[in-house]
């Protein structure tokens, strides 16, 4: 196996654990609320604290990750994420009342800050370690990893809670994160040329592609990235897209417990199914987008999947609240999440194609926009669901899915961020 795929497996592992860490609160919430006397609105604010800090950390995470490299960045992600993960179950041992709630907000905020660089750097790793023909599929597979983490969370937390209580369950998930971080610190490297196991044939394959090397970031180049029309459109579309993602990823477990009356271990497995649909969608979507881009060009190759799947996702949200049978609702959620996550490869690969050497920074902008969807969704869904109005929550999700679709009609992945100086060459052309 080429070393690039070993590196991929490590980043895939970080993607899995990032979603295991961030979604565990939503699953444990059914035990946390009565134990700590928290309301559903307060759980919404805890989710908002994570989403806000996560969004704030996207652009700095991408820029600093581009500067310091993947190896140090993921060591930071692992260490700080472990601290934040164990802070939530330990805080009630020391604090009560308002002080406890503020500590929980701080822990979720710290977790968001720690995970900010994760996905901008997955794109940067793909840009550095893989040829362009594999960018969409690589990003799709990274998204498959995060969905595996999401799928594992509900049954894992339910089972661990049965043995160790919700605090013990959250402490347990810090152990694999520690093991992954230590192993990555030993094996990971920033570029293929720095890795002792990369052979000349693998380097030649990468050097034959039209990949560009990252360069030190400047304010002028950062300004060009922020002003580029397609980066802005992709970020706005991703924000709308992520309202639907956060709706299902963060809140579907409580929806199934409260509105569909799932209980016990059955609730854990029912909560896992939408994530399985998401994982399948993320894996397939990357292959579809790369295949279409190769056959018909990048502009329409990256557009087709979201133009078809996002309206279907919006329709399936309405089906979810319209069906009467509980498992029919689970099936509709699974299909919705499939239709949502089939687009991850297209979003990230399109941004990488627009930005090229500035992939870390540009995908930081993309994911900042995306996680604004999480910031917007958390208080809205917390308030509506706390009042038992799940129907309005899902209808709003449909509206966001349609807005995300409309943006793809004008997104053009063939336009580039103008971050390189334009200089004349001998024949009078521009280089």
**DSSP line for 271-339:** HHHHHHHHHHHHHHHHHHHHHHHHHH-HHHHHHHHHHHHHHHHHHHHHHHHH--SHHHHHHHHHHHHHH
Note the pLDDT tens digit of each residue in 374-423.
888 888 998 898 899 999 999 999 999 999 999 999 999 998 877 554 33
What is the C-alpha to C-alpha distance for residues 190 and 186, in angstroms, rounded to an integer?
Answer: 12
Taking the mean position of all CA atoms in its chain, how far away is CA 283?
14
Note the pLDDT tens digit of each residue in 54-71.
889 988 888 888 889 999
Angle (CA) 242-76-220 rounded to 5° is 65
Please state the rounded mean pLDDT for residues 145-164. Answer: 90
Note the pLDDT tens digit of each residue in 247-295.
998 888 889 999 999 987 788 888 889 989 988 998 899 889 999 998 9
Identify the pLDDT of residue 296: 94
Please state the rounded mean pLDDT for residues 141-156. Answer: 88
Q: Does the structure show a pLDDT above 70 at 424? A: no
Identify the pLDDT of residue 26: 84
The confidence band for 326, taking pLDDT boundaries of 50, 70 and 90, is: very high
Q: What's phi and psi for 72, nearest 5 deg?
A: -65, -35
Please state the rounded mean pLDDT for residues 306-332. Answer: 96
Identify the pLDDT of residue 431: 31
Identify the pLDDT of residue 206: 76
Identify the pLDDT of residue 283: 84
Identify the pLDDT of residue 421: 43
* Contact yes or no for 235/348 (Cβ under 8 A): no
Please state the rounded mean pLDDT for residues 106-127. Answer: 90
What is the C-alpha to C-alpha distance for residues 421 and 418, in angstroms, rounded to an integer?
Answer: 8
Please state the rounded mean pLDDT for residues 360-365. Answer: 86
Query: Could you give the domains of the chain?
Result: 3-191+217-407 (1.20.1250.20)
Give the DSSP letter of residue 387: T
Taking the mean position of all CA atoms in its chain, how far away is CA 135?
16
Note the pLDDT tens digit of each residue in 218-240.
788 888 889 999 999 999 999 99
Identify the pLDDT of residue 425: 37
Backbone φ/ψ region at 297: left (φ over 0), alpha (ψ -120 to 50), beta = left
Q: Does the structure show a pLDDT above 50 at 426? A: no
What is the C-alpha to C-alpha distance for residues 292 and 169, in angstroms, rounded to an integer?
Answer: 43
Backbone φ/ψ region at 97: left (φ over 0), alpha (ψ -120 to 50), beta = left
**Portion of the chain with pLDDT greater than 90, in percent:** 57
First-residue to last-residue Cα distance in the chain: 38
Closest CA to 341 of 305, 395, 316, 375: 305
| Prediction pTM value | 0.75
- The per-residue pLDDT of the chain, averaged, comes to 89
- As a 3-state breakdown, the chain gives helix, strand, coil percent values, each rounded to 5, of 85, 0, 15
Q: Helices in 37-117 by DSSP H: which ranges?
A: 40-68, 70-94, 97-115
Q: Does the structure show a pLDDT above 70 at 430? A: no
Q: Does the structure show a pLDDT above 60 at 46? A: yes
Q: Which residue bears the tokens 């053009």?
A: 412
Closest CA to 80 of 44, 47, 106, 48: 106
Please state the rounded mean pLDDT for residues 178-197. Answer: 95
């Amino acid at each position: 196996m080429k070393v690039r795929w070993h590196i991929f497996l490590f980043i895939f592992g970080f993607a899995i654990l990032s979603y295991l860490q961030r979604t565990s609160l939503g699953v444990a919430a059914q035990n946390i609320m009565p134990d700590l006397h928290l309301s559903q609105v307060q759980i919404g604010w805890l989710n908002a604290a994570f989403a806000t800090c996560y969004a704030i950390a996207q652009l700095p995470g991408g820029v600093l990750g581009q500067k310091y490299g993947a190896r140090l960045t993921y060591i930071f992600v692992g260490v700080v994420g472990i601290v934040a993960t164990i802070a939530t179950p330990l805080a009630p041992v020391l604090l009560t009342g308002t002080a406890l709630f503020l500590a929980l907000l701080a822990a979720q905020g710290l977790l968001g800050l720690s995970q900010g660089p994760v996905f901008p750097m997955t794109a940067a790793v793909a840009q550095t370690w893989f040829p362009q023909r594999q960018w969409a599929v690589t990003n799709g597979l990274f998204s498959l990893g995060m969905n595996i983490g999401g799928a594992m969370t509900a049954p894992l937390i339910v089972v661990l809670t049965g043995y160790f209580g919700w605090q013990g369950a959250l402490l347990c998930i810090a152990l694999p994160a520690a093991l992954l971080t230590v192993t990555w610190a030993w094996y990971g490297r920033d570029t293929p040329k720095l890795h002792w196991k990369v052979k000349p044939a693998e380097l030649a394959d990468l050097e034959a592609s039209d990949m560009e090397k990252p360069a030190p970031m400047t304010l002028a180049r950062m300004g060009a990235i922020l002003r580029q029309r397609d980066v802005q459109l992709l970020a706005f579309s991703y924000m709308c897209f992520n309202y639907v993602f956060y709706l299902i990823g963060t809140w579907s477990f409580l929806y199934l417990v409260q509105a569909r009356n799932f209980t016990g271990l059955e609730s854990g497995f029912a909560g896992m199914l939408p994530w399985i649909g998401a994982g399948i969608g993320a894996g397939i979507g990357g292959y579809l987008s790369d295949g279409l881009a190769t056959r018909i060009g990048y502009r329409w190759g990256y557009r087709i999947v979201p133009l078809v799947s996002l309206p279907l996702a919006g329709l399936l949200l309405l089906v979810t609240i319209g069906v009467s049978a509980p498992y029919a609702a689970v099936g509709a959620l699974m299909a919705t999440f499939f239709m949502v996550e089939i687009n991850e490869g297209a979003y990230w690969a399109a941004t990488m194609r627009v930005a090229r050497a500035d992939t870390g920074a540009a995908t930081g902008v993309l994911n900042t926009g995306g996680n604004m969807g999480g910031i917007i969704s958390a208080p809205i869904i917390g308030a509506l669901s706390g009042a038992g109005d799940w129907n309005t929550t899902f209808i709003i999700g449909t509206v966001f899915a349609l807005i995300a679709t409309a943006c793809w009609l004008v997104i053009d992945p063939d336009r580039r961020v103008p971050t390189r100086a334009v200089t004349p060459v001998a024949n009078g052309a521009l280089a």
